[in-house]
Every structure is written in structure tokens, then in C-alpha cells.
């Protein structure tokens, strides 16, 4: 079974631009979560999608948005990029939505650099 796939692996953008990141979950998984990882803040939860609906949201500004398609693939969009958005963005998938003891399966991430 293929793992969680994130594309692209690396991105370089300039301030003010927007960016879209993609995540393909493990086949059969219906939940996709997004995390931002930075050296200073660690892993911060962005949002979770389940069956095309946003089920949970972290404390990020509205510039960060996402969506999920009927095949469970998910995209994350960041508009009006700021220098502080430079981070590793990790996507994780799970079967029923990351509740209780269920574990998450992570992709290798997209490294975003904002210049």
C-alpha cells in the first residue's frame, strides 16, 4: 500500500504570493490533517478534513485554507505569504478521523521557503 504522498517536496515563494500544497492519503483513509512544523513552534495543528468537510481547525489566520476532494485527496492553500510562513507542512491521514487511539500516518512534508 502506498504511503501518504505530499507534493511538491520543496517550494520557494516570495512574500505576497500564494501557494497550494497537495496531499494524497493512504488508500481507504478518509481523514486528512495538516500540521505546520517550525523549529521554534514545533508541530502546530492547522485543520482536519473528513469526507470533504472540515471537521477541526487550529488557531491560524484565514490566509490558511484547505479542502478535500471526493477521492480524499486534500489541498492546502496559503495566500499572501509572509516570511513567517516558512515551515515544513506535514499532512497525515487516518481511516476514521484520528479519534481515540487511532494513529496518524504522515507524509514526508512540503518544505516551504518564503523569501
Partner 1 sequence: AQSVTQLGSHVSVSEGALVLLRCNYSSSVPPYLFWYVQYPNQGLQLLLKYTSAATLVKGINGFEAEFKKSETSFHLTKPSAHMSDAAEYFCAVREKSSGDKLTFGTGTRLAVRP
Nearer CB in complex with partner 1: 56/79: 56
CA distance 100 to 3: 22
| Distance of closest approach, residue 48 Cβ to partner 1, in angstroms | 7
Asked if residue 112 lies in contact with residue 9, where contact means CB atoms within 8 angstroms, the answer is no
Cell numbers 508541530 correspond to what residue?
43
Question: By C-alpha distance, which of 2, 23, 19 is closest to 80?
Answer: 19
Judged by the rule CB under 8 A, the positions of this chain that interact with partner 1 are 4, 33, 35, 41-43, 45, 48, 56, 58, 90, 92, 97-101, 103-109
Nearer CB in complex with partner 1: 65/79: 65
Nearer CB in complex with partner 1: 70/101: 101
Bridge partners of 80, per DSSP, are none
**Grid cell in block for residue 10:** 520543496
Question: By C-alpha distance, which of 48, 47, 24, 39 is closest to 108?
Answer: 24
| Distance of closest approach, residue 31 Cβ to partner 1, in angstroms | 10
| Distance of closest approach, residue 3 Cβ to partner 1, in angstroms | 8
Nearer CB in complex with partner 1: 79/86: 86
| Distance of closest approach, residue 36 Cβ to partner 1, in angstroms | 11
Amino acid at each position: 500500500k502506498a504511503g501518504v504522498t505530499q507534493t511538491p517536496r520543496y517550494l520557494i515563494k516570495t512574500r505576497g504570493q500564494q501557494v497550494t500544497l497537495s496531499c494524497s492519503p493512504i488508500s481507504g483513509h478518509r481523514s486528512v490533517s495538516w500540521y505546520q512544523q517550525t523549529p521554534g513552534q514545533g508541530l502546530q495543528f492547522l485543520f482536519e478534513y473528513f469526507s470533504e468537510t472540515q471537521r477541526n481547525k487550529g488557531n491560524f489566520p484565514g490566509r490558511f485554507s484547505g479542502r478535500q476532494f471526493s477521492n480524499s485527496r486534500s489541498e492546502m492553500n496559503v495566500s499572501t505569504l509572509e516570511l513567517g510562513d516558512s515551515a515544513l507542512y506535514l499532512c497525515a491521514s487516518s481511516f476514521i478521523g484520528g479519534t481515540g487511539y487511532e494513529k496518524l500516518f504522515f507524509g514526508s512534508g512540503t518544505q516551504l521557503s518564503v523569501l
